[in-house]
Structure 1
């Protein structure tokens, strides 16, 4: 399913994870393909700061008029849910792909629980999101067990989608283009925005 582009089509705002923009990543490829897509710019400083990441997302949203669908991956999902706790701008919907489980120790090369705590990522927000959302989870993601991701999806009020054995859905796990993203984004673009008061 392709994403139709028109004046009423929401802008797609890409929210990358901590590694920011990776050339062969599905988010980067998606942004290149879509005319109404842009990305939260990478940080020059405070790259591990949750507050700085949330502020960058808010600044990117301030540059967009009209409806927005957020497309977040990995720590970008956590940036999105932290942003939703602090800001009230209406969001048309959000695709939240392979969120990490920050409550469990991460593999070598990733921030430790102490660092995540110090940088403001913990506790992970579990309040219901005030906009439609879809959480996509992999059965063999090294950064989160699928059962944990399903628990988060339930807490956030998100539709949960099992995408099979896709690793962390990144080039390191053999994934570039992710065609299902187009279908899920199209579904979110068709959703009517919901006010938080209606939840």
Structure 2
């Protein structure tokens, strides 16, 4: 089986140069799903862009696709999976630090994204959450993991699991993503 194509899905405002997603792109060749507006994310636009990239990647290489989503990218993943006819092209997803998009402050800052999709994802997923994420509680993340059928990993106090968390290349996260790749190779996906 071909090595999977890994697509990174940053959240609101994108991922800067020290973010683990950006570092993975430089170190491992992962490919970012570029959105046209990182500051004013529109769910429909972001979903259409993800659809286009997943179709292009899976058509071009035939390799399985893995998603490495952060923050609003997690909410996007669930929304896309619930509405696409092409979810089978994705073999798994690492979902990191999903925000509690139903909080009043986030509803105002990022309108149009609440409520999140709560149906089971059609592919294996691992959800990673921090106990002191300013954008979502551990309880909220645990509920999303349960709703989405994702394996849940609480990693202690790591903030929003972003560049400010001081993760560097975040090898622990990469190891979790590679467990999904191993499942593909083992024929479990």
Question: When the two structures are superposed, what TM-score results if normalisation uses the length of structure 1?
Answer: 0.84
Q: What corresponds to 2:46 in structure 1?
A: 53
Structure 1: tracts of 5 or more residues without a match: 1-6, 107-111
| Coordinate RMSD, CA, aligned | 2.0
Q: How many residues align?
A: 181
Q: After the TM superposition, list the runs of 4 or more consecutive aligned residues in structure 1 that deviate by more than 6 angstroms.
A: none
Q: What corresponds to 1:88 in structure 2?
A: 85
2:32 aligned with 1:32: no
The verdict on how the C-alpha distance between 1:30 and 1:101 changes in structure 2, with shifts beyond 3 A counting, is: same
- Higher normalized contact order (CA 8 Å, seq sep 6+, divided by chain length): 1
Whether contact under 8 Å (1:16, 1:72) holds in the other structure is yes
Q: What corresponds to 1:103 in structure 2?
A: 102
Whether contact under 8 Å (1:131, 1:194) holds in the other structure is no
Question: When the two structures are superposed, what TM-score results if normalisation uses the length of structure 2?
Answer: 0.88
- In 1: Cα distance, 2:109 partner to 2:159 partner: 24
Q: How does 1:183-194 map onto structure 2 within 5 Å? A: 183-192=175-184
Stretch moving more, 46-55 or 79-88: 46-55
- In 2: Cα distance, 1:46 partner to 1:178 partner: 25
CA shift for structure 1 position 64: 0.6
The verdict on how the C-alpha distance between 1:33 and 1:161 changes in structure 2, with shifts beyond 3 A counting, is: same
Structure 2: tracts of 5 or more residues without a match: none
The verdict on how the C-alpha distance between 1:96 and 1:88 changes in structure 2, with shifts beyond 3 A counting, is: same
Could you list the per-position Cα deviations for residues 68-110 of structure 1 after superposition, in whole angstroms to 9, with x for gaps in the alignment?
A: 000000001011111011113211100000000011134xxxx
- In 2: Cα distance, 1:45 partner to 1:38 partner: 16
CA shift for structure 1 position 115: 5.5
- In 1: Cα distance, 2:173 partner to 2:70 partner: 11
